[in-house]
Structure 1
């Protein structure tokens, strides 16, 4: 089991309270009335893939299924063209007006470096992810291929949910002048440092992937061993501050 019902409850509460990583125009955001329409009496356990993206999408599906006014129409449907896959659509949702909406969702964690926001795997960045969501993922329901395959699904709205956390360098006190420029400063709550800076900061405890969104409520595991930082590690300190510790070669190591 990847997540028990208590972890699922805490992660859903985090989703309900967190803004997008980017300030989006109203036509791109999930409407406020959707979040207000969600009600849970109990929370299931999660036994699916241990990749956090799959877990997050499952949590969003739970939210849709527990909405009083929005209806899940389709999830993860494939779009094909000329014998190849264009991609998969996260969600088709029916809104209270009876219109169909295309939603693309993701949870991401990015570190500020050289006026960019890079993932722990530095091949990924916030700018690249947002561009892909807008120009490719949301665009799939506008393609002729989609309209031929799914003639009964006429999409009227295209929306993005991109949540997560942004991490400033240890030496940085303010959000940097970065790309993209429309970041949500409320999400800049994490810190990151190189492994060689560990003696300068509080004791850190490595997190399991299931704990990336919300801090663990159980006792923390053993403190971080500096010898185990050959790859980026997600951690937390005694105060509840989230950290990434990266090898000295980051971001070039990826």
Structure 2
């Protein structure tokens, strides 16, 4: 439920006036927004249909999980109506692309949404000029914001204009829009984000394992650290009392594993709240000590 609400209400990663394409708006009016909030409250009281749709024990791919949440909203929510999802385009039996979502708004407009949920670490420093999109790299150094951005604009959003799409007889015209959410992680809070980045984008931090050991690893009865599995990367979380007991029992083992990070690891800091549970305070990545050098080389390859 938190993840679905986060997808719908979290700020976009890109600025409206710098995105290079239209940004998707889940609600066409304030009335639809209020109706969605009421629908979420009702669903929260009986969420089994959402759980059945979104839980796939055979998949740990975050993109597929996010797609399942957004598809549920379009199929059952009070706003736009889902026409089709994951529509493949083929050329001589070869798949050349897939339209994420085709939907129809309350006023009859037909819209094509491409969903992207991305988590990038900024690898510049605060003393340099304004960041570039290529300075934002994926934790495993297999993805970069400029590459993803270019692919979305030049390929994904253009799918509904291709002859292969016209052959599917899905009446349009279709208004292509980018639905982009995520979180950007900074080593230096003074960094000026790239011009394309949304002013209110969700932020986090990153540290090397040595920096972590030097002063950010303390645990006590009021604070603990949790490794975030990939499918828990979306919304901030609150742990109930029972989960908190399990957390404290594992705190020492988690603490030890983080000090010797051999791969970038997303973690969250939790603090006790007044209701007997734990509330997430901040989120970041702990990376191996050699990761920044490799990340800078990956970012520099864009030049």
TM band (smaller chain): 0.7 to 0.9
Distance (Å, rounded) in 2 between the aligned partners of 1:156 and 1:79: 15
1:157 pairs with 2:175: yes
Q: What residue in structure 2 maps to residue 248 of structure 1?
A: 289
Within a 5 Å distance, the mapping from 1:192-211 to structure 2 comes to 192-199=206-213, 200-203=215-218, 204-211=225-232
Q: How many residues align?
A: 241
Within a 5 Å distance, the mapping from 1:40-51 to structure 2 comes to 40=40, 41-42=42-43, 43=47, 44-45=50-51, 46-48=54-56, 49-51=59-61
Distance 1:136 1:160, change over 3 A: same
Q: What residue in structure 2 maps to residue 28 of structure 1?
A: 22
Distance (Å, rounded) in 1 between the aligned partners of 2:208 and 2:171: 49
Distance (Å, rounded) in 2 between the aligned partners of 1:176 and 1:98: 40
SS in 2 for 1:185: coil
Cα deviations by residue, 1:27-72 (Å, 9 ceiling, x for unpaired): 6122342761522322221322221111111111122123324110
Distance (Å, rounded) in 1 between the aligned partners of 2:10 and 2:282: 16
Q: Contact 1:236 / 1:243 at 8 angstroms: preserved in 2?
A: yes
Cα deviations by residue, 1:125-170 (Å, 9 ceiling, x for unpaired): 122112111111111111111112x12332331111110111110x
Distance 1:238 1:64, change over 3 A: same
Q: Contact 2:22 / 2:176 at 8 angstroms: preserved in 1?
A: yes
Distance (Å, rounded) in 2 between the aligned partners of 1:126 and 1:238: 29
**Gaps (5+ residues) in structure 1?**
1-8
2:265 to 233, 247, 250: 233
Q: Contact 2:209 / 2:260 at 8 angstroms: preserved in 1?
A: no
1:138 to 134, 157, 176: 157
* Range 62-71 or range 105-114, more displaced: 62-71
Q: What residue in structure 1 maps to residue 191 of structure 2?
A: 175
Distance (Å, rounded) in 2 between the aligned partners of 1:63 and 1:70: 9
**Structure with the greater alpha carbon radius of gyration:** 2
User: Aligned Cα RMSD in Å?
Assistant: 2.3
**Gaps (5+ residues) in structure 2?**
125-130, 219-224, 272-280, 299-303
Within a 5 Å distance, the mapping from 1:63-102 to structure 2 comes to 63-102=73-112
Q: Contact 1:167 / 1:190 at 8 angstroms: preserved in 2?
A: yes
Give the TM-score normalised by the residue count of structure 1: 0.85
The structure in which a higher percent of residues are helix is 2
2:143 to 112, 118, 124: 124
Q: CA deviation at 1:202?
A: 4.3
* Range 70-79 or range 36-45, more displaced: 36-45
Cα deviations by residue, 1:197-250 (Å, 9 ceiling, x for unpaired): 112224443112232112342324533324541111000123521010111222
